[in-house]
Amino acid sequence: MSTNYLLSLHKRYYFPVTILRLYLVYGPYQDRNRVIPIVIGHALKSSEFDCSKGTQLRDFVYIDDIVRGIIKSLKNTKSIGQIINLGSGNPIKIKDIILKICEIIGSGKPKFGKIKFRNDEIKKLYPSISKAKKILNWHPKTKINSGLKKTINYYKKYE
């Protein structure tokens, strides 16, 4: 509703609004009740942890890339009145992200298939970032392995 309201203000009064849709942002200081911090916590403790089958596709994007995208949108008048997705552009299975984290840390024992999918679970959730590339001249620079390593190092230091 807020998107529709803001776009109507733009159309009616030329209100300078850009709608940014952020996909799964991760990195230091992230809410700990999210998949990446949860998995990092278990892996750092070398503990077993229950997971779904992990077949859901998601788009994870590192916080530094999001900040760059926001700044570019603020400086670019072509973005006004647009809805722009900011994501990595590379969907990944939840299972694969869990396994990457455990591999980087060198521990953690995920037990896949122990948690059932929610009834309303979306199996595929990832954006097209073509507008971000075209209008903002933006693309994410941080590869998933690099972003995960930075995030893991943060947790190692502050946990």
Span 142-146, average pLDDT: 97
Residue 113: partners with Cβ closer than 8 Å, 6 or more residues away: 51, 52, 53
pTM listed for this prediction: 0.93
Q: What is the pLDDT of residue 71?
A: 97
Which neighbouring-strand residues pair with 146?
none
Q: Quick one: fold of 19-158?
A: Rossmann fold (3.40.50)
Could you report the per-residue pLDDT of 123-141, keeping only the tens digit for each? 999 999 999 999 999 999 9
Examine the pLDDT at 159 and tell me if it is beyond 90: no
DSSP state letter for 116: P
What is the per-residue pLDDT across 47-102, written as a single tens digit (0 to 9) for each? Answer: 999 999 999 999 999 999 999 999 999 999 999 999 999 999 999 999 999 999 99
Determine the pLDDT at residue 27. 97
Tokens 């570019």 label which residue?
A: 72
Q: What confidence category does residue 115 fall into, taking pLDDT thresholds of 50, 70 and 90?
A: very high
Q: Which helix (H) or strand (E) holds 125?
A: strand 124-125
- Delimit the domains of the chain by residue range: 19-158
pLDDT more than 90, % of the chain: 95
How confident is the model at residue 129, as a pLDDT?
A: 98
> What's the CA gap between 50 and 46, in Å, rounded?
13
Whole-number pLDDT of residue 158? 80
The percentage of the chain sitting over the pLDDT mark of 70, rounded to a whole number, equals: 99
